Structure 1
Amino acid sequence: MSAPDRKWWKDGVVYQIYPASFKDSNGDGMGDLPGIISKLDYIKDLGIDTIWVCPMYDSPQIDMGYDISDYENVYPQFGTLQDMDTLISETHARGMRIILDLVINHTSDQHAWFQESRSSKDNPKRDWYIWQPATYDSSGTRQPPNNWRSNFGGSVWTWDEATEEYFLHLFTPEQPDLNWESSACREAIYDSAMRFWLAKGVDGFRVDTVNMYSKPDLSDAPITDETAEFQFAGLQYCNGPSMHSYLNEINAVLSEYGKDKMTVGELPNTPDPAVILSYVSAAANELSMVFQFDVVDVGMGPHKFQTEPFDFTLPDFKRAVRRTQEILGAGTGDAWTTAFLENHDQARSISRFASDAPEHRVASGKMLALMLCALSGTLFVYQGQEIGMVNAPMEWPMEEYKDVDSGNYYAMVDRLSGGDPEKLAEAKRAIQYLGREHARLPISWDGGKDAGFSDVKEGEVGGKTWMRVNDDYETCNVAKQLGDPKSVLGYWKRMIQLRKNFLELLVYGAFEVVDEADEKTFCFTKTWGEQKAVVLCNFSAETVPFKVDEKSGLDFDRMEWLDSTVDGAKGAALAPYEGRIYLVE
């Protein structure tokens, strides 16, 4: 078999950093850029090749930095432009690369561009955002231009009293959408959000909501929820007709700074593999790879919180993994994919897909690490995932949930149910299971004050960290796991190294599920030329006999044991939440 098309962004492992929750260097209760710099050696030692830094740009922080008021400056609580220069240079000095979040579907309503746009209908930047006149119902009451539902609930339209038009925002009202049909707007985006940082040496971008820029069809969305005033419209405003043209322009900007810049696009509401391929195939040459949400969306409701914990089956999970892995083999051209279970928008994977019970959480963390490290594509690890961080406990009150998504949903249930305790308890269970807050709790660095994340000074932010540290910080922290090969952290290091030792097989190999219907175990094979691996994962709290030869025609006697999450485990039964990997002779 021919050698793979090797690229740094294919071979490597990416570590995602959420600045507010990573490490506080100055005792104000919030993480910052110097805090990140202080932990670069820790990240390098984990086996990481690239860091992805979530938005550190200046922002009112309505949506935790995804509402940018100045692309060319840093949020003051995170640091300065000089700190960013230092972070870029220190990352490169360690042989790692750095990518930033590229948030260009929308800005903050405090951005100078929007301030001009809303100042009058005659302003030259009026068409840099999407403005529409009101519609009126039969009684003459003013209504928004269409029935689209925002990603955070309510209408996507907000009325502007001064100019008497609505502006579009797919997210919060404080995040107005940019109008990509304006060429002047696009060029300003490329200069301010891209060239400014590429000139400083960043190696690429994670592109936020990459398929939402082209939305010429503003007609009503189909009514899929009879009880709701506003309707899901994601299939209308995603993947519009000009997307490929816009991405070609973005690539032209990237190419000004060399041929090896990386882009990974956030690609929601894209169920058709052919559409995914139209972005990531070598022939298209538009994005290096994308995040599909098949896996992390498993168990979510029509609105993600309209569900119960673990409202899915293991076969559902396997099918979702398969769909993301099949992108590698789909079509005639080369394409690439990603492997991830966590990010800043997802709850913790142990709590979501395995077990965070005290007796199972370490085993679950190791098993998920083994599974992820054996999947093809670029591997993404989210901060704290490497030590097995889990969701905050159910006992925490709603006051601890600070995310706009969780708060809006809980308030909506409260309003629509008239404060029904059962309905509110149901909403709280879903939020505790799926809320974005869990990924945003500070990293537990040690068992001391504020979990080693911060040493909050008296009088700063009420004398506490911006978000509460998880209650288990004394038992689950970096310091306790460093140097312990039996810890989740130790196992992540081991598996990342194993992934690199078998790079062609595990990073580039073809994926195939064995016995998709099995409700307790997830078995898959990886194949590269004459090499083959078998991966076994027990997703249950039971010891499960597993006859590989009965399910796949493979024979334990012809398989070389490579690793297990349970020391020395080689028999034909998997311990609760055990993972195992073999080479086939």
Structure 2
Amino acid sequence: MLNSVYNKKQKPSTAGETTQSNKSWWKEGILYQIYLQSFKDTDGDGFGDLNGVVEKLDYLKSIGITMVWITPFLESPMVDNGYDVSDYKAIHPRYGTMEDFDRMIYGLHEREIKFVLDMVVNHSSDQHKWFKGASSSRDNEYYDYYHWWPAEKGEPPYRHSLFDPEGGWDYVEAVDAYYLHTFTGNQPDLNWENPKVRQEVYDIMKFWAEKGVDGFRMDAFQFVSKDTTWPEFPEGHEKDYVKWYGLRPELHGYLNEMYNKIIGKYNVFAVAEGTGSTFEDAHNLVDSDRNELQMAYHFDAVNLSQTPKGYSLLDFKGVFSKWDNAFSEKGWLAIYLSNHDNARLVSRFGNDSDDFRTVSTQLLNTFLMSMRGTPYLYYGDEIGMTNIDMPNIEEYTDIEAQGKYQSALKAGADMEEFINTLNYNSRENGRTPMQWDASENAGFTTGDPWRRVNPNYTEINVAKQKTDPNSVLSHFKRMTEVRKKNPVLVYGDYTLLLPEHEQVYAFARELDEDKILVLLNFSESESEIELVELQGLTSEKVVIDNYEGTAVEGTCITLRPYQAILFSLG
């Protein structure tokens, strides 16, 4: 049973349990990510807020999720929509007050929903008091909270910035030195080699854990350990960014220290963005005997579909199968296909045409909740929200999109092709306001929304789907119940079937005497398949199906376009 009351006291630890044989609430959870400023606005300023989550608590309970991760809502100048924090213990007024937060987390716990906080501590905002002090004098107590290259040493060695085409160093005249930034110049990297910085972070985590936070999503955490020897990296090294900029050996010492000071003292879990370059890297982060993190979060799957050309189902099956195999005995995975840094689920991995949007979104949600690992589901995917068409760069406000545009111009890229790809994969597609109903601005706000609402909100919205038993939303609710009632989908072994089939993803999940067959047709065409596991199956064995009247004939079944069906074989 999940905690049902708000509790500021320390709680007994279960966070070290990450092997398949040890059950944990965060393994059995169904996580729902909310991009806060696009979820629900209650004060008419056009930005979603904490009270918007409070208003929709019963909705969150109704769809069957058990964990909520919310993007940053702490004090920030909002250069990167909150991923540049200027005060780690204060709520940005745009989103509400600390009392609003307390009311929200109490309401979540009352409904047996856990809360996961987004921790952005690879870097701070340049408006944080630490950086303001650090950039004022080399003698300031906060100077060593950041990475500096004194100008008297000459030009600093080149460091690539993910958001700044000019590179990762910026000069500050007051200290006659350059500071390092992995992202924008407004997001200076914290110096984790300094034990004072690490203690500051642990104090922040302790503050939030004692307010009832149940988990931490550690943003960009694979980059916190920097190369302090500062060599010149080889030309083109930025193409393998993680190898050169992430997961240095010192990181594991920091994580172990964090575990001993925070994670191990509270019933919380931590998941870091990124897993490194190898399975060994990932296991070194999350295996229970390491006492570091509890869950791995890789990019291989979302990286498959980055252009309008789409992806190969064989590659898709290969990615998920190899990761499952690597974590079949130790460690634990997050299973996801969309989040705030990616375009919409159905537009990238399904089919967002009018004919197939519903069934293909149902298929993708079925897949995510049928795999071993903790499913991470993104707001709006439970109703099949799609990409929004933005063919002009002037409409993009995201710093990542603008940075990529400038880099492409500088490199002399084909800008028509660039814009076409950006329109397909930009993370702004995944940040449009939640489509609650068919009223003005999709019921998101009574004011002017911070981001243009997708024009298809009159057809795709919660209100319309709540009363339709065949809708994406209704199917989503049924699938969360299936996940909860069948531990085999959480802890069971995974066996890939028909590995070379180019349309159908078929696999079995097995735990003790329970066995479930999962059949997913990732195609707009019918597909007839044959499996010995189908022998003797009748409609009574169907666990969930996004079509009606599916028949098995001997060992054969014809799957309809984007059909997703689960059979019980136990």
What aligned pairs does 1:464-503 form with structure 2 within 5 A after superposition? 464-503=448-487
5 Å-filtered alignment, 1:69-80, equals 69-80=86-97
Contact 2:20/2:328 (CA < 8 Å) preserved in 1? no
- The alpha-carbon deviation at position 531 of structure 1 amounts to 2.4
In 1, Cα distance between equivalents of 2:354 and 2:460: 11
Q: Note if contact 1:148-1:231 (Cα within 8 Å) is conserved in structure 2.
A: no
Structure 1 residue 77, shift from structure 2 partner? 0.7
Shift of 1:66: 0.5
Counterpart position of 1:236 = 244
Pick which of 425-434 and 566-575 moved more.
566-575
- Paired amino acid for 1:207: M
SS in 2 for 1:369: helix
Query: 1:132-211, aligned counterparts within 5 Å?
Result: 132-134=149-151, 143-151=155-163, 153-191=165-203, 193-211=204-222
Q: What letter is aligned with 2:512?
A: G
What is the RMSD of the two structures over their aligned residues, measured on CA atoms?
2.0
How many angstroms does 1:324 deviate by? 3.0
Q: Give the length in aligned residue pairs.
A: 545
Structure 2 length normalisation: TM-score? 0.91
Q: Which residue of the partner structure matches residue 258 of structure 2?
A: 250
Match of 1:272 in 2: 278
1:401 aligns with 2:385: no
Name the structure 2 match of 1:443. 434
| Residues 6, 190 of structure 1: alpha-carbon distance in 2 compared, 3 angstrom cutoff | same
Residue by residue over 1:502-521, the C-alpha shift from the partner in whole angstroms, topping out at 9 and shown as x without a partner, is: 12x10111122223222211
* Structure 2 counterpart SS, 1:365: helix
Please list every run of 5 or more consecutive structure 2 residues that lacks an aligned counterpart in the other structure.
Answer: 1-18
Aligned equivalent of 1:555: 534
How far does residue 234 in structure 1 lie from its aligned partner after superposition?
2.3
Change (3 A) 1:222 1:151: farther
AA aligned opposite 1:450: N
Q: Aligned to 1:358, what secondary structure does the other structure show? A: coil
Match of 2:38 in 1: 21
Which amino acid counterpart does residue 487 of structure 1 have in structure 2?
S
1:427 equivalent in structure 2: 418
CA distance in 2, matches of 1:527, 1:104: 39
Structure 1: distance between partners of 2:254 and 2:317: 34
Residue identity matched to 1:431: L
Deviation of residue 276 (structure 1)?
0.7
State the partner residue of 1:293: 299
Moved over 6 A (4+): none
Alignment map for 1:214-229 (pairs within 5 Å)? 214-216=225-227, 217-224=229-236
Aligned with 2:387 (options 376, 379, 391)? 391
Structure 1 position 433, deviation (Å):
1.4
Q: Is 1:573–2:569 an aligned residue pair?
A: no
Q: Measure how far apart 1:103 and its partner are.
A: 0.9
Unaligned runs of 5+ in 1: 137-141, 301-307, 457-463
Which whole-Å deviations, capped at 9, do the CAs of 1:395-451 have from their partners, x for residues lacking one?
Answer: x5333322111122123333443xx8xx22211111111111011100000000110
One of 263, 269, 279 as aligned partner of 2:270:
263
SS at match of 1:356: coil
Task: Give the Cα separation in 2 of the matches to 1:152 and 1:340.
Answer: 28
Secondary structure of the corresponding residue to residue 485 of structure 1: coil
Q: Distance in 2 between matches of 1:556 and 1:71?
A: 58
User: Post-superposition shift, 1:148?
Assistant: 2.9
SS in 1 for 2:118: strand
Kindly tell me: are residues 232 and 148 of structure 1, through their superposed partners in 2, closer, same or farther at Cα, counting changes over 3 Å? farther
Aligned to 1:377: 373
- Offset, 1:231: 5.9
The amino acid that maps onto 1:526 is: R
User: For the residues of structure 2 that align with 1:22 and 1:181, how far apart are their CA atoms?
Assistant: 37
Please point out which of 534, 547, 558 is paired with 2:517.
Answer: 534
Q: Is the 8 A contact 1:564 1:580 kept in 2?
A: yes
Q: Is 1:413 matched up with 2:408? A: yes
| Residue of structure 2 equivalent to 1:325 | 324
Distance 1:409 1:569, change over 3 A: same
Amino acid corresponding to residue 198 of structure 1 in structure 2 = A
CA distance in 2, matches of 1:283, 1:401: 45
* TM-score, with length taken from structure 1: 0.89
Q: Cα offset for 1:135?
A: 8.8
CA, structure 1 residues 522+82, in 2 after alignment: closer, same or farther (shift >3 Å)? same
SS of aligned partner of 2:418: helix
| 3-state SS of paired residue (1:52) | strand
Counterparts of 1:143 and 1:309, CA distance in 2 = 40
Q: Compared with structure 1, are the counterparts of its residues 170 and 388 closer, same or farther at alpha carbon in structure 2 (3 Å cutoff)?
A: same
Distance 1:74 1:91, change over 3 A: same
